């Protein structure tokens, strides 16, 4: 499982002309589910997202998590994070989990984050979405449950 985590001052996701998720201060998470992912990957990603200390404390050091700063999390499904661009010019998405497998794991991540007491907004699975954000910092981190980077 892969995630792109961005510290934001605001973020929203729309499907067509309908806003389906919107947050202010917090984290935008683009989440990709891969074929081999399971409950351990869900737990790893949810724990990392909830515990990342990427918000500044009073001394301007990144020592606070999203929960510590009363922030929110916007989780957006993005299968293209499983894309492999090493060969040719067209990405291969062979590693991306099929929707029937990926959607329950995506939902499990959301449930785990909610269980941590975090306010959660979401994108819409299998929809064409428009994501808008104001990256704060900018702070952008890559997470991979298989620890490949």
Candidate list 6, 55, 78, 122, residue with the active-site label: 78
Is 19 catalytic? The answer is no
CB 75 within 8 A of CB 113: yes
Work out the pLDDT band at 108, boundaries 50, 70, 90: very high
Which of 6, 19, 55, 80 is an active site residue? 80
Q: Is residue 149 very low, low, confident or very high in pLDDT (cuts 50, 70, 90)? A: confident
- Among the CATH numbers 1.10.3720.10, 3.20.20.70, 3.50.80.10, 3.40.1260.10, which is that of 2-144? 3.50.80.10
Q: State if pTM tops 0.85.
A: yes
Calculate mean pLDDT across residues 49-76.
98
Q: Given 6, 55, 79, 122, which residue is catalytic? A: 79
pLDDT in tens, 109-119: 999 999 999 99
Residue for token pair 């990603």: 45
Concerning whether 78 is annotated as a catalytic residue, the answer is: yes
- In the chain, where the domains are located: 2-144
pLDDT tier, 148 (very low <50, low <70, confident <90, very high otherwise): confident
pLDDT tens figures, 66-106:
999 999 999 999 999 999 999 999 999 999 999 999 999 99
Nearest to 100 by CA among 31, 29, 33: 33
Catalytic annotation present for 79: yes
Count CB neighbours of 71 within 10 A: 19
């Amino acid at each position: 499982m892969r995630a792109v985590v961005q510290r934001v001052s605001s973020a929203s996701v729309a499907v067509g002309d309908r806003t389906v998720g919107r947050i202010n201060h917090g984290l935008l998470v683009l989440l990709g589910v891969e074929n081999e992912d399971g409950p351990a990957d869900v737990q790893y990603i949810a724990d990392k997202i909830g515990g990342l200390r990427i918000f500044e404390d009073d001394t301007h050091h990144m020592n606070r998590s999203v929960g510590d700063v009363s922030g929110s999390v916007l989780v957006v499904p993005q299968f293209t994070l499983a894309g492999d661009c090493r060969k040719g010019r067209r990405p291969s998405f062979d590693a991306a989990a099929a929707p029937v497998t990926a959607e329950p794991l995506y939902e499990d991540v959301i449930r785990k984050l909610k269980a941590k007491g975090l306010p959660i907004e979401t994108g819409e699975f299998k929809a064409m979405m428009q994501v808008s954000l104001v990256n704060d910092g900018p702070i952008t981190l890559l997470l991979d449950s298989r620890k490949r980077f």
